[in-house]
Amino acid sequence: MYPKRLWWLLAVLCLCIALYLGLGARGNWGFVLSFRANKLIALLLVAISVSTATVLFQTITRNHILTPSVMGFDALYLLTLTVLIFILGGQSFTQLPEIAQFIVNTLLLMGAALALFGTLLRRGGHDLFRMILTGIIFAGLFRSVTSFLQRIIDPNEFMVVQANSFARFGRVDTELLTLAAALTGAALFAAWRMRHRLDVLSLGDESAINLGEAPKSGMFQVLVLVSILVSVSTALVGPMAFLGLLVVSVARQITPVISHRILLPSAGLVSAITLVGGQMVLERALQSTMPLIVIVDVLGGLVFLTLLLRRKPR
């Protein structure tokens, strides 16, 4: 039953892609297509990275509410960006070649993400509310340091930070896109190869040990993958806030299973449909310049609240 639903999702995605590429294309087809294809690839990469990172994160934290973004990753991104601009100066930061900016950003973020999530998991263990609280406190801390630094730096530099502080899907440099695709591709491949182990890990530590998997090393490997996925996609387009939570919650409704063989593709497809379809409707149908992520954020925030309030006490 569920594999069939995956094919349906795939069909919807193909439709969205066709409309996104084809709708309202006038003039030089070759040029329009290559321009749109570039954006499309970026959208797909980000969509699948975010959904996969969220599923992985929820598997090792054993709940369906937490996501890397909720746990303070986005605030961490703004902090690293601000610190970078504070140290280098806005001028020299924007003058860095795009690819250098990307690499510096990604590396810093990966290190910071590993440290953040590692701490959260080690300290919070499997206590959901303690983890949420720690995440919120960390995020608050990062935000206050960020706004403190933003007060010190001059207004022009502040603009640079502002421009990067929410996700924008514009044209991405081709070289950059290739590098990002290679990195996320490798991480996604590794996650897919882990799919059966992830099923076992999601049963809980004791069951996993009994079945011959080591939860600690599994958790570490998953954290590395999550860090790569969120860092690359965030460095590419900006913070994604509630996107992961929204799409994974929807995917869990469509395919309510724990099997990652179904869940990973399902979440990836829902995520891709959300981004490509949403962008298509906004850009082509409504001719709007409103960033898609704003809408995703509102919806995702509502989902987060509902999940938290409806949570069955376990």
User: Which one, 24 or 204, has the nearer CB to another protein?
Assistant: 204
User: Which one, 34 or 253, has the nearer CB to another protein?
Assistant: 253
Residue in the structure block whose two tokens are 């409504």: 286
Alpha helices of 96-127 — where are they, by DSSP H? 98-124
Least distance from C-beta 124 to another protein, angstroms?
17
User: Which one, 164 or 266, has the nearer CB to another protein?
Assistant: 266
The token pair at 126 is: 């499997």
Cα separation, 242 vs 40, whole angstroms: 21
User: Which one, 158 or 220, has the nearer CB to another protein?
Assistant: 220
User: Which one, 98 or 127, has the nearer CB to another protein?
Assistant: 127
* Residue in 191, 181, 237 with CA at minimum distance from that of residue 218: 191
Least distance from C-beta 284 to another protein, angstroms?
38
**Binding region for another protein (CB under 8 A):** 195-197, 199-200, 202-207, 209-214, 256-259
Cα separation, 77 vs 111, whole angstroms: 11
Question: How many C-beta neighbours within 10 Å does residue 110 have?
Answer: 19
Question: How many C-beta neighbours within 10 Å does residue 111 have?
Answer: 13
Cα separation, 249 vs 306, whole angstroms: 11
Least distance from C-beta 85 to another protein, angstroms?
44
Least distance from C-beta 296 to another protein, angstroms?
26
The token pair at 152 is: 């010190």
Cα separation, 156 vs 142, whole angstroms: 22
* Residue in 12, 151, 124 with CA at minimum distance from that of residue 57: 124
User: Which one, 154 or 206, has the nearer CB to another protein?
Assistant: 206
Least distance from C-beta 270 to another protein, angstroms?
17
Least distance from C-beta 196 to another protein, angstroms?
3
Least distance from C-beta 6 to another protein, angstroms?
17
User: Which one, 173 or 205, has the nearer CB to another protein?
Assistant: 205
* Residue in 273, 259, 230 with CA at minimum distance from that of residue 14: 273
